[in-house]
């Protein structure tokens, strides 16, 4: 697969690079960013943390705002940040910020006009890791994390594929999308009106019936304006109780939904993942 380097920046002894490539899963040109820590080389392959971004975001948010590279450089973890959705003139879109380009929700769409491009689940689970592992000095040890819509994506992907991931974490995830306005709007468009199909992309539903556990850490800001209507962390806590899932969920009073919150606790998340990636 041919990829094109868009930009390169050195920091903390490693390299942040952006690339574009033609995606077979999404049928369009996609962009992703990768931070390669100084330990990464042809003779020393490093594990990877995949970061999934939230609504209206892209690969740039976490790389520019979180400070994630400092700790990744210390620990020797590569960071891969894909875009949130397919983009381009021929890709279906919507006027709302919470549907269409910028709002792929990490599902495989089954409904027109979305299904020809919006196969984000397949892209994140299959295509992107194959590309990363065949191109860069990384091994096949994977962790996954994300924020908001991306936190939802990280949780469902790890819960559905426990054999692929050493650990999962999330900041302010959309924990129960079948019961919140963001999720209901997106799932109706992408998956159709049969709500029975929605549960396979709902972290609370998946966690409640899990039998194969991936170490999980969730942080939620107590001052987040979206916590009650959209994020519903209590649904995830109840799900973990039902299945005895080893979920570490913390509410941090006063913190909001922004990258100020993420940057405050991103180091804890990387060190959490390192415990399992380094086994």
Residues belonging to the active site: 148, 224, 257
Q: In what order do the strands lie in the sheet with 14-23?
A: 3-11, 14-23, 28-36, 78-82, 46-52, 138-146, 167-171, 215-221, 247-252
Give Cβ neighbours of residue 219 (< 8 Å, ≥ 6 apart). Answer: 169, 170, 171, 172, 249, 250, 252, 261, 265, 268, 269
Lookup: tokens for 217: 């850490």
Q: Which residues of 100-117 are buried (b: 16+ CB within 10 A; e: fewer)?
A: bbbbbbbbbbeeeebeeb
Cβ contact 120:107 at 8 Å: yes
Task: Establish whether the linkage from the previous residue to 113 is cis, with ω within 30° of 0.
Answer: yes
CA dihedral 164, 51, 127, 132 (to 10 degrees): -90
Residue 114's nearest CA partner among 92, 97, 99, 95 is 92
Cβ contact 32:74 at 8 Å: no
Lookup: tokens for 140: 């096949």
Cα separation values, 153 from 135, 162, 176, Å: 24, 14, 12
């Amino acid at each position: 697969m041919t990829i094109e380097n868009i930009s390169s920046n050195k920091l903390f002894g490693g390299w942040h690079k952006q690339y574009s490539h033609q995606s077979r899963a999404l049928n369009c040109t996609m962009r992703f960013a990768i931070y390669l820590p100084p330990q990464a080389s042809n003779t020393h392959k490093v594990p990877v943390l995949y970061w999934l971004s939230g609504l209206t975001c892209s690969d740039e948010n976490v790389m520019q705002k979180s400070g994630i590279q400092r700790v990744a450089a210390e620990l020797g973890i590569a960071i891969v940040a894909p875009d949130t959705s397919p983009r381009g003139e021929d890709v279906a879109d919507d006027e709302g910020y919470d549907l269409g380009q910028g709002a792929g929700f990490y599902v495989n769409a089954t409904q027109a006009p979305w299904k020809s491009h919006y196969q984000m689940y397949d892209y994140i689970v299959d295509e992107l890791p194959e590309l990363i592992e065949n191109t860069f000095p990384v091994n096949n040890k994977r962790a996954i994390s994300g924020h908001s819509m991306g936190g939802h994506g990280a949780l469902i992907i790890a819960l559905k594929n426990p054999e692929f991931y050493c650990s999962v974490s999330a900041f302010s995830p959309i924990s129960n999308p079948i019961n919140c306005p963001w999720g209901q709007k997106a799932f109706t468009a992408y998956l159709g009106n049969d709500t029975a199909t929605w549960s396979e992309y709902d972290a609370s539903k998946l966690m409640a019936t899990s039998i194969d556990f991936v170490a999980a850490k969730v942080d939620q800001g107590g001052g987040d304006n979206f916590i009650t209507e959209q994020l519903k962390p209590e649904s995830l806590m109840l799900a973990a109780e039902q299945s005895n899932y080893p979920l570490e969920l913390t509410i941090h009073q006063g913190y909001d939904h922004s990258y100020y919150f993420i940057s405050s606790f991103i180091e804890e998340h990387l060190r959490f993942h390192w415990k399992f990636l380094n086994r």
